[in-house]
Amino acid sequence: MRLALKKLKRYQQTVHQFGIYYYAKMIKLMRPANSHMNESTKVHYLMNGFHPSLSIAIRRNYPKIA
């Protein structure tokens, strides 16, 4: 489990990787890291691993949750 969590924390979207493939890979990494991970934590890991150029656009349009 610790190794899976390390992989999850380090995984970054590559320059030529489509967003959907990045998402699918992240979901695969999340399952062994913590099968009961809440949605907020999943979003956190996803957002932190996006390629910087895409991350800016995503964060700009990210919904604000009260």
pLDDT digits (tens, 9 = 90+) for 14-57: 989 998 999 999 999 999 999 899 998 998 899 889 888 777 77
**31 located within any domain:** yes
Contact 50, 58 (CB under 8 A): yes
In a domain, 19, yes or no: yes
**Rounded CA gap, 48 and 59, in Å?**
10
* Burial class of residue 52, CB neighbours in 10 A (0-12, 13-18, 19+): exposed
Question: Does any domain span residue 66?
Answer: no
Enclosing domain of residue 28 = 2-61
Q: Is residue 55 packed enough to be buried (19+ CB in 10 Å), middle (13-18) or exposed (0-12)?
A: middle
22 falls within a domain: yes
Query: pTM above the 0.95 mark?
Result: no
pLDDT in the model for residue 9: 93
Q: Domain total for the chain?
A: 1
Domain assignment of residue 33, yes or no = yes
